[in-house]
Amino acid sequence: MASISALQAARSQYQPKLPKTLQGPVVAVEGKATQSVGNQAEIKELFPNTYGMPVITFEAGAQPKLEPFNVGIILSGGQAPGGHNVISGLFDGVKSLNPQNKLYGFILGPGGLVDHKYMEITPELMDQYRNTGGFDIIGSGRTKLEEVDQFEKGIQILRELGIKALVIIGGDDSNTNACVLAEYYAAKKYGVQVIGCPKTIDGDLKNEQIETSFGFDTACKTYSELIGNIQRDCNSARKYWHFIKLMGRSASHIALECALQCQPNICLVSEEVEAKEMSLDDVVTYIAQAVANRAADGNNFGTVLIPEGIIEFIPAIKKLIAQLNDILATPEAQNLGRSEQIDFVKAHLTKDNLAVFNSLPTSVARQLALDRDPHGNVQVSLIETEKLLSTMVAAKLDQWKKEGKYVGKFGTQHHFFGYEGRCAAPSNYDADYCYSLGYNASRLIANGKTGYMSVIKNTTKPAAEWIAGGVPITMMMNLEKRNGKMKPVIRKALVELDGAPFKYFASKRDEWARQTAYVYPGPIQYWGPSEVCDQTTKTLQLEQA
């Protein structure tokens, strides 16, 4: 490991807080049988051994004595602040059950399980990574666990290492894979448990049981510091409009949270764009009007927050992308060169979708038509939406100037905040929350559970009052089209337009659009008054109020 900073050295001494329930022996209290959020019959058929299990809540009680056992852990997908604390919580949890228990980490994600690449996590190693950002203790990867030969290769190494349970830390797709693996091992009676942990900075892995995914708090605070810095610069120079794209392909939780923290002039919310059936020109006109209004007050500067996935929420473009996905999933399309693929796509689009395709800037059209991520989705982070929108706003303002509707100057700067937030040192909230998730996973293992996700609730209260337990992963699943086929996946949580966070934002945005009402949150605070250091996201505060 690289040399550590003074902050990291001091931070390593921080002892994360645990729910009172987890501070001693526990018993699992079972609720009612559950069902999936959609496609109940199909999901039940696909997961007969792990469907319908009850929600678990832990209460203080007598923990039965257990024989020594080993546990494996996997970091899957993109990084999120707090991953190391999930591991340290799990490590401390399994050691508290029996000091002879061992924790093995599989290297570079699920691929490490399949390829039998692993390392034992020792006390000395663990102590170097407590309360640190990143996933570098064992690395992460995006190998999808979907095939029987992968499951069988996995069980070989799990048996060789004497591993009783596997904990997979990941987002919705990774936890879907965890559920598939749990079902397979249960059906085969292999005796290996699989537990998931909810991770994604995007904030779209949440529901009635999961209050928030870990990393969202820290990432939003990191981005908000950067946005606040830009806003202060913006308010000092007073000559640029800053177009700031933020991570959030499938939902606008990050953009909305950063808006609540920073009070920018404009924040686009993808879900609202879709609900109002706004066209690309509607979005551009909305921004341009705000620019013109501020210019009329003598303010030729401002900030615009843009979720990276917004282009997929514009209804006409969403319909185009849906057909593009189907076309590109065909064997004929996959065997063509890139230039041939464009011609093939255009030849198979409907008349309306072709018109939309031809109306887009060439670079954007090519991006939509060619590159896909491992899930078959458009790689929207590669589309420079912030530049696309600012260019179109500039053109509209030029037209308005000719018509005498706009008098002002429009200079622009562009930013995309993504990787800057994924490996930040976790906030106190994420340090505590993640440690509790990992520790709680050890109790799910001790109670013989499989196919469950570790959950910690009531997190706007002091940590001692947090509620620990587990929720069946099948409860969150439905069927969705991926790479041209219907597959079981965890349903993503979108911004709810009738939810308290969006309603509060909507009540303030007209004021923020015209005035310079910026808030400068500053860096994450680790030491000091609790109201400064331990605060949750504005989103969670509003949801739980």
Q: Which is catalytic among the residues 92, 202, 430, 534?
A: 202
- 393-421: string of b/e by CB count within 10 Å (b at 16+)? bbebbeebeeeeebebebebbbbbbbeeb
202 carries an active-site annotation: yes
Between the alpha carbon of residue 141 and those of residues 78, 115, 378, the distances in Å are 8, 12, 19
Using an 8 Å Cβ cutoff, are 71 and 35 in contact?
no
Q: Could you read off the pLDDT tens digit of each residue along the chain, which spans 545 residues?
A: 557 889 889 999 999 999 999 999 999 999 999 999 999 999 999 999 999 999 999 999 887 788 999 999 999 999 999 999 999 999 999 999 999 999 999 999 999 999 999 999 999 999 999 999 999 999 999 999 999 999 999 999 999 999 999 999 999 999 999 999 999 999 999 999 999 999 999 999 999 999 999 999 999 999 999 999 999 999 999 999 999 999 998 999 999 999 999 999 999 999 999 999 999 999 999 999 999 999 999 999 999 999 999 999 999 998 998 898 888 888 888 888 877 888 899 999 999 999 999 988 888 888 888 777 766 677 767 789 999 999 999 999 999 999 999 999 999 999 999 999 999 999 999 999 999 999 999 999 999 999 999 999 999 999 999 999 999 999 999 999 887 789 999 999 999 999 999 999 999 999 999 999 999 999 999 999 998 999 999 999 999 98
Q: What pLDDT, on a 0 to 100 scale, did the predictor assign at position 374?
A: 66
Between the alpha carbon of residue 185 and those of residues 36, 150, 151, 277, the distances in Å are 20, 12, 8, 45
Strands (DSSP E) along 76-136, which ranges?
Answer: 102-106, 118-120
Q: Which strands, in side-by-side order, build the sheet including 302-307?
A: 266-267, 302-307, 241-246, 412-417
- Please give the distance of CA 278 from its chain centroid, rounded to a whole number: 25
Count of CA atoms in the C-beta half-sphere (13 A) of 307 = 31
Using an 8 Å Cβ cutoff, are 78 and 128 in contact?
no
Instruction: For the chain, give every domain's residue range.
Output: 48-215+426-482, 216-422+498-544
Between the alpha carbon of residue 521 and those of residues 203, 217, 258, 307, the distances in Å are 20, 13, 10, 20
| Domain 48-215+426-482 and domain 216-422+498-544 have a common topology | yes
Q: For domain 216-422+498-544, is the CATH number 3.40.50.460?
A: yes
Using an 8 Å Cβ cutoff, are 424 and 219 in contact?
yes
Between the alpha carbon of residue 410 and those of residues 132, 183, 312, 508, the distances in Å are 41, 57, 27, 24
Q: What pLDDT, on a 0 to 100 scale, did the predictor assign at position 482?
A: 82
User: Rounded CA gap, 153 and 114, in Å?
Assistant: 5
Using an 8 Å Cβ cutoff, are 508 and 497 in contact?
no
Tokens found for residue 13? 């001494």
For the domain 48-215+426-482, what is the CATH code?
3.40.50.450
- CB count within 10 Å of CB 223 equals 27
User: Rounded CA gap, 255 and 248, in Å?
Assistant: 8
User: Rounded CA gap, 262 and 274, in Å?
Assistant: 24
